[in-house]
Amino acid sequence: MAAVVGPPMVRRFNLEHVQGIGAVSGSLPPSRLINDDTTRTLLYYLGARRADRAPVHHNADYDEVIVFAAGPGNYGAISTPGTVTWTPKGLIHQGPEEDVPEGYVAWLLETRATLKATPAALDISRLMETSQWGVHATDGEVTTR
Ligand SMILES: [Fe+2]
């Protein structure tokens, strides 16, 4: 624990140098990268790590945004760097296996804000299956507007 007198310290780090923590057994929450004293916005490292798969859950207080940054491994069905997923608060989901030997880099942003897709985002978005993080079988059959 460190105490600072005066204005907050500016903390800098290279996201490429962040290493996830793992567990021999059991599930493990992702490593938090940035603390927001208001708890309105939280940022986590969500890269490949040794741990049991996360349980089925819903996040009542936060929309979850995941950015898949790099492989070579996949995050569920996602293999394209720059892919962004959005799980609105309250939506039940599990997420894919994160113990991926090939490795990948991803980040998780949790926000208490209620996000809303713009028309442009809806035009390029796909409906997601929330267990394997792939495109849902009904994508294209239902409208999200
Ligand atoms: Fe989640």
Domain ranges of the chain: 30-145
CA of 9 to the centre of ligand 1 (A): 30
Q: Which of 7, 4, 62 is nearest to 30 (CA)?
A: 62
- The domain defined by 30-145 carries CATH number 1.10.3720.10: no
CA of 140 to the centre of ligand 1 (A): 24
CA of 62 to the centre of ligand 1 (A): 9
Q: What is the pTM of this model?
A: 0.85
pLDDT tens column, 103-119: 999 999 999 999 999 99
Tell whether the model's pLDDT for residue 144 goes beyond 70: no
Cα(116)–Cα(121) distance, integer angstroms: 9
Q: What percent of the chain has pLDDT over 70?
A: 93
Q: Which of 46, 34, 17, 48 is nearest to 111 (CA)?
A: 34
Tell whether the model's pLDDT for residue 9 goes beyond 80: no
Only one residue has tokens 């720059």, namely 82
CA of 122 to the centre of ligand 1 (A): 21
CA of 6 to the centre of ligand 1 (A): 36
CA of 141 to the centre of ligand 1 (A): 25
pLDDT tens column, 54-96: 899 999 999 999 999 999 999 999 999 999 999 999 999 999 9
CA of 93 to the centre of ligand 1 (A): 6
